[in-house]
Structures are given as structure tokens and as C-alpha cells.
Amino acid sequence: MKLDILAFGAHPDDVEISVGGTLISEVRQGKKVGLIDLTRGEMGTRGTVEIRNQEAEEARKIIGAAVRENLDMPDAFLETNAENLEKVIRVIRKYQPDIVITNAPSDRHPDHGHAASLVVEACFKAGLRKYQVDGTGENAWRPRAIYQYMQFYIHQASFVYDISHVIDEKVACVLAHKSQFFNPESMEPETVISSPQFKENLRARASEYGIQAGFDYGEPLMLIRLPGVKKLTELY
């Protein structure tokens, strides 16, 4: 199955928090979207692997993604090595996405920056025919564009995607990860993202970025390289 967009996250819920609205909107416009979680978030304070797997599937359904895979890399110990590169290269060659979206180059959780470095390097090497991974060199594929999303730390955005029409669905796909976010009945330890303030911040942050671009709500994205345009109106 060829996909238009393949979105990577270091942990289940990274993608939803950061670009859930963008992906929902793209699916509604007919794009085929896939989600790849690098780890199962097994080192997280709240929830279990089994619970998080169920929540990830529920979020996939809300987004409308065609597939969701987990590459079973070790949570909290993400690194760029030959084994992990081959795992990412396999899914890039398998789904041949035109666009790859991944974590920011640095963030509060070190895994996020490590994931970004890993995915960006894999996108390049996936296009090398002589880089053999399970004999897939002849299926070499390099995405046309790589975008990076913001999660906790603030970076300079390259553009803002309008999610005004899907803000409710974006919040819903994030909160599908029930074990990770605010629940007054939960007996598990509180974390930064399980506080009531973080839940409120989902809309507030989307509003903050949206208003800068003339939207009610938006999600910021960063470019790896300069974009090319053939007319100035493409930059509206």
C-alpha cells in the first residue's frame, strides 16, 4: 500500500498531540495516511503497554489513518544505529510516502530529538539503492518532503496548518490516550501531560498558532529544507 503521508512519533500520542489535526484534515481531503510509533512508551509513568496499544488503535480510528505500526524500539533509549535505521527504512520503502512527518530536532523528552535524527537519516538512506535492507534496494524510496512538528519546546515554525474545522476531532484523538491525560479518578502519579492545565493547553496552543496565520486554530510545522514555489500565491 502506497501512502501519501507517513507520520512518525517516538511514543504513542506524540503524533496526535502535535499534528493530529493536520492528519485528520489530510485524510478528509482524500490522502492516505500512516502512523509509525518507534516505541511502545513502556517507560512512561502512567498506563501499561497493553493499555497504550488499545489507546493507539482508538486514536488511529479517529484520525482515519490507514495503518499504524510500532517498531518496538526501546523507550527512553532511542538511538540512531544500524538496527533502528533498518527498521525505519523498511517502512519507508514499504509505504513509499511522499511526505514524512516526525518529531522536532530537540524537545523536553530526549527521545523526541533522537527520533527526529533517526527518521531524517533513514529518509535519506532509504533512497540509496545500494543500501540493502532485506533485499529491498531495488525498492529504494526517498520522500519528497520531511516536516517536523513541535510538541513541548517552542521552535521557529516554517508554516502553520489550518485545523480550525477539525479542532474537536484533534482533541478527541489526543484524549483517546486516556491513561496519559487528565482523569480525576486515576490513582496513578501525575505527570506534566496528565494535569488539567495540559488538557486545556491543547486548544490554547492551537489558537495561539492559528491566530498568527489568520486561522482560529492551527498546528505549527518546520521544514528541513527550503520549499520551492512557482507563484507567490502558493505562500498564502
SS (H, E, C) 188-201: CCCCCCCCHHHHHH
Q: Is the pLDDT of residue 155 over 80?
A: yes
Contact present, 39 and 49 (Cβ < 8 Å): no
What is the model's pLDDT at position 186? 87
Task: Judge whether residue 236 has pLDDT over 90.
Answer: no
Per-residue pLDDT for 47 more than 80? Answer: yes
Mean pLDDT of all residues belonging to the chain = 96
* DSSP-assigned letters across all residues of 128-175: -TTS-STT-GGG----SEEEEE-SSS----SEEEE-GGGHHHHHHHHH
Give the three cell numbers for residue 86: 533498518
Residues 6+ apart with CB under 8 A from 217: 21, 162, 163, 164, 167, 170, 203, 206, 207, 209, 210
Q: Which residue would you say has higher pLDDT here, 4 or 138?
A: 4
Pairing of strands 218-223, 145-149: antiparallel
| pLDDT at site 136 | 80
How confident is the model at residue 29, as a pLDDT?
98
**Alpha-carbon gap, residue 225 to 215, rounded angstroms:** 25
Instruction: Return the closest-CA partner of residue 150 out of 8, 19, 1, 12.
Output: 19
Predicted confidence (pLDDT) at residue 88 exceeds the cutoff of 90: yes
Average pLDDT over residues 15-41: 98
Beta bridge partners of 15: none
HSE-up of residue 17 (Cα within 13 Å, Cβ side):
24
pLDDT in tens, 159-202: 999 999 999 999 999 999 999 999 888 889 999 999 999 989 99
Cell, residue 151? 510538541
pLDDT tens digits, residue range 92-147?
Answer: 999 999 999 999 999 999 999 999 999 999 999 999 999 999 888 789 999 999 99
